[in-house]
Chain A
Amino acid sequence: MTVLDVANLTKIYGDACGECVDNTGPSVGDNQCPVCGSVVACADVDFQLHDGEVLGIVGESGSGKSSLAEMLALDLDATAGDARYHAYDGNMLSADYQARHELQNQHVGMVHQHVQDGLELSFSGGGNVAEKLLAAGWRHYGDIRDRVESLFRETEVPVSRMDDATETYSGGMQRRIQIAKAIANDPGLVVLDEPTTGLDVSVQARVLDMFRGLQREQDVATIVVSHDLDVIRLLADRTLVMRHGRVIETGLTDRIMEDPHHEYTQTLINSVI
């Protein structure tokens, strides 16, 4: 089953002149329109995401990954494009506030690159996760506690820390709390933006292992965005390579890693090895 079908997804920051997309991209070597100065964060992105699949989006900093992720998590307005989500009737990018909140609460979980975009640091860790349940209408305190506790176990955060303020958590724990929050209502789609950036290498590996286990167990369709090829290699079944706001190569992750077609992808992979 196709969980998500995205066509022509575009984000332009600034007052677009109409020529922005033609004036930017890999062929030009820039994402800023020379005529009007607008930034084409991403343009004409097409892909499909299937049941249980993990799609990786890789590219250097500024290539448009976060803009893409935030539009799909309905946190950022798209300039143009169409995104069909299996449980929503119509283009979810043009959902009104009410429908958007419903989608975010029940269907699309997001793990933000910057923790303050994803968590209320003054709330307890448990409170942050509980918010998702409360937003979805949970009104039984005991049930909420039980659910939060089991989400803490699933994401391997010590249950003893559940009632401590989130700002006292380590970076790794905060990332796990975001994941717990993202999956709290059994969403059909999870979007992870740079899930390991800013974490110690040893912590990175454990967060990724935890998420991989969780993802396989729950079979949830996932989009993982990273500038780190190792993260993509570990998690993604299929990968999009982005540069200057465009997808320049698409394929199975193994194929892309072993036999990159695009010259840029080759440099990207060679520079890591």
Chain B
Amino acid sequence: MTDGRSVVPDAESVDDLLDGVADDGLAGYNYAYLDEHTKREVRRATLKAIALPGHQVPFASREMPLARGWGTGGIQTSLSLLGPEDAFKVIDQGSDESVNAANIRRLASRTADVETTTDATDASVIQTRHRIPEEVLDDDQILVLQVPITDPLRRVDGSDDANRRRHAHKNYSKMWVALYENVVEYGEIKLSSRYPVLVDDRYLMDPSPIPRWDVPKLDDADNLCLFAAGREARIYAVPPHTEVEPLAFKDRQFQVERFPDQACANCGSEDTFLTEVETDDGDRRYACNDTSFCEKRRANPDLSKAHHRDGNDHAWGPATDPSVPDGPTENSEGGERE
């Protein structure tokens, strides 16, 4: 078995690696950095994950030239998927410009010879940390989400053995109690991220730390979603058109974040996920978290999230899907106690 590192014995960081490839391009490196055996292994796990929606599939996670927990699972998954025809986009919490996103993009462009792009509608593979793009993804696109914690049940029990048994038998009552206690405490279900979802009415899944805003996009999506954790060496998947249901009570529904009376300070959007940013003079303002879509909206304020798709009525989370209930504002207590 070839060690994934043997192709670049001296690289200790992405920068080292990139220095090494700067001059001679692909020479001396296997295509897409990983050796073929590793890529086959990742692809096998990926196929198994697609066959069992929401089920965590182990894979032999390799050492990568960056610390585990920095997207090593996502990189291995992306690199095992990419071919020279692909266009690759990498975002880190909605931004294409973070150092980590830029490094991953350069690694792929230099070792896999792929085009890179910041345009979500142009990318064939999008690797992301903690966000799903605002623009509706298509059936020829793959979203690779970086995952820090794979098992949603770890919130309620630290024992992976016990949790594996629970998954095997769809025994999720402990998670339901955690939601019950959440409502007792806050009057509503108040989980800011890693919102537990039931996939295909079978496996409970951690959708990674995406905001609740993005969770409804997983349901019946046209695109394939892959979730990869390097540290925990697990891959799981939501295949296209799979039912993804956030756990909630009949009288305490799942709700997305709301930003009442706020619009993006840069593009004016009121239908995007906003984050609070502090300006140089200490003012707090809201702005789109998805920076590449924000730029498009600046040029064209009326641009639909499905502008590139036939028809504009694609359900893609809040403001596009009437079945996604509005939540109370982020800082209100909301709901009433019984």
Which A positions have Cβ atoms within 8 angstroms of B? 97-98, 101, 120, 123-124, 126-128, 130-131, 134-135, 139-142, 144-146, 163
Contact = CB atoms under 8 A, between A and B. Distances in A.
B140 interface: no
A144 B249 CA distance: 10
A120 B181 CA distance: 13
A135 B181 contact: no
B169 A134 contact: no
Given A141-B252, A142-B338, A135 B184 contact: no
Contacts of B176: 131, 134-135
State the 5 A-B residue pairs at the shortest beta-carbon distance, nearest first: A135-B173, A134-B176, A141-B249, A145-B338, A140-B250
Contact of A141 (B171, B173, B251): B251
Interface of chain B: mostly helix, strand, loop or mixed:
helix
Most buried by A among B171, B176, B180: B180
Contacts of A120: 174, 177
Nearest to A126: B184
Interface of B: 165, 168-169, 171, 173-174, 176-177, 180-181, 183-185, 249-252, 338
A212 B180 CA distance: 31
B171 A134 contact: no
Contact of B250 (A97, A130, A139): A139
A141 B338 contact: yes
Contacts, number: 52
B184 A101 contact: no
Given A97-B169, A163-B185, 20 more contacts: A97-B165, A101-B171, A126-B184, A127-B180, A127-B181, A128-B177, A130-B180, A134-B173, A134-B176, A135-B173, A135-B176, A139-B250, A140-B251, A141-B180, A141-B183, A141-B250, A141-B251, A144-B249, A145-B338, A163-B184
B181 to A, nearest CB: 5
B173 A131 contact: yes
B338 A130 contact: no
Given A140-B249, A140-B250, A131 B177 contact: yes
Given A98-B169, A142-B251, A131 B181 contact: no
A142 B338 CA distance: 7
- The interface centre, meaning the residue of A98, A123, A139, A141 with most chain B CB atoms within 10 A of its CB, is A141
A139 B176 CA distance: 9
Contacts of B185: 163
B302 to A, nearest CB: 40
A123 B169 contact: no
Contact of A134 (B180, B252, B338): B180
Given A134-B176, A142-B338, A127 B184 contact: yes
B177 A134 contact: yes
B248 to A, nearest CB: 8
B181 A124 contact: yes
Nearest to B335: A141
